Structure 1
Amino acid sequence: MKKHPERPVLITDAARSQDDQLRGRQVRYVTMMSVRALCLILGGILISARVPLLPVWLTLCALGMVLLPWMAVLIANDRPPKSKAERAADAAAREDVRRALTEPSPEPDYITIDSEVIDEARPRAD
Structure 2
Amino acid sequence: MSRRRPEPVLITDAPESPERERLGREVRYLIMMGTRAACLIVAAILVSTKPPHYGLWVVVCVVGMVLLPWLAVLIANDRPAKAQYRMSRFVHRPVTPADPQALPAPREHPVIDADD
Q: State the secondary structure of the residue aligned to 1:86.
A: helix
Partners in 1 of 2:55 and 2:81 — Cα distance? Answer: 39
Alpha-carbon displacement from aligned partner over 1:71-112 (angstroms, at most 9, x marks no partner)? 0000011111221212213436xx37x65x9469xxxxxxxx
Partners in 2 of 1:57 and 1:74 — Cα distance? Answer: 25
Partner of 2:78: 78
Partners in 1 of 2:48 and 2:87 — Cα distance? Answer: 54
1:40 aligns with 2:40: yes
Partner of 1:17: 17
Read off the aligned partner of 1:66 and give its amino acid letter.
V
Partners in 1 of 2:21 and 2:89 — Cα distance? Answer: 20
1:66 aligns with 2:56: no
Partner of 1:110: none
Partners in 1 of 2:99 and 2:91 — Cα distance? Answer: 18
Residues 76 and 90 of structure 1, relative CA distance in 2, 3 Å threshold: farther
> Is there any run of 5+ residues in structure 2 with no aligned partner, and where?
1-9, 101-116
Read off the aligned partner of 1:17 and give its amino acid letter.
S
Partners in 2 of 1:90 and 1:33 — Cα distance? Answer: 38
Partner of 1:26: 26
Partner of 1:55: 55
- TM-score, normalised to structure 1's length? 0.64
RMSD: 2.1
Alpha-carbon displacement from aligned partner over 1:25-84 (angstroms, at most 9, x marks no partner)? 101000000000000000001111110111100000000000000000000111112212
Residues 84 and 103 of structure 1, relative CA distance in 2, 3 Å threshold: farther
Identity of aligned residues (%): 46
Read off the aligned partner of 1:51 and give its amino acid letter.
P
Following superposition, which runs of at least 4 residues in structure 1 exceed 6 angstroms of deviation?
none
Aligned length: 91
